Structure 1
């Protein structure tokens, strides 16, 4: 079984890393494919400015990812625009090696942003796509959500389940 090609690929060869920051702007076709992957309506704009610092075979990528997305409101299903501005901090590392099932593995906060790669190149585009995916709120409500609830008699229903406490906290903000 073959692995599907990423919707947005930007391979970086370790031997070609310089001190010059990279500005990555996916084309319209890549943004359309990413929107389909993430289950949102569109990504009209996406840009990342990334500084790469190589330390042997380890590469640290820092910068910002800025995107405008159009997604459906979780209440009304009406499309609305969302602006995303996320810091980027990740480290690309060669494979650490196999871990046996019984081996205890302790992770620190720094370990969680490591992305393994093989050979002499890694895919910065796919890493940025994953960063964008994590920044998109799958439960976002559009500006007309409250009006939709009122119009359809949903404003008096009490939330139940695991997200009820989170909804109560959100209303306190």
Structure 2
């Protein structure tokens, strides 16, 4: 791999780490202006960088990492959907925001695991297919619980 690819990879890794950290913070922070929204903006910005670098590197190395192209498209598509739902406040925006942002987080966790699991002792003994599905299996009920918590609160306040 040449120096240019290595630079893209470095930027991708740094932005990915920021995304994983800020996504977790935003998901666990109180849902109000302040920490949640600031960290959410950083999450979206770092995800955009992860998306762009993933597209470039997957096209560059298509035969080995074409699957990353599709993960990047799908995951960032969810992040953008969740981000725009909040910014534009369309009908049912909160449900779309929660599903999009947490769905994108599941996507980046999945990509991180799938790409790196072979380098992690003990985990590299397990089938890789497990790491394709485990984040979704764990994350989907969490999305459902968070949606019920916040959408239920909003409906109760409106009543």
Flag the structure with higher strand content.
1
TM-score range, shorter chain: under 0.3
Larger RCO of the pair (alpha carbons < 8 Å, separation 6+): 1
Flag the structure with higher helix content.
2
TM-score by length of 1: 0.26
Structure having the higher Rg: 1
TM-score by length of 2: 0.27
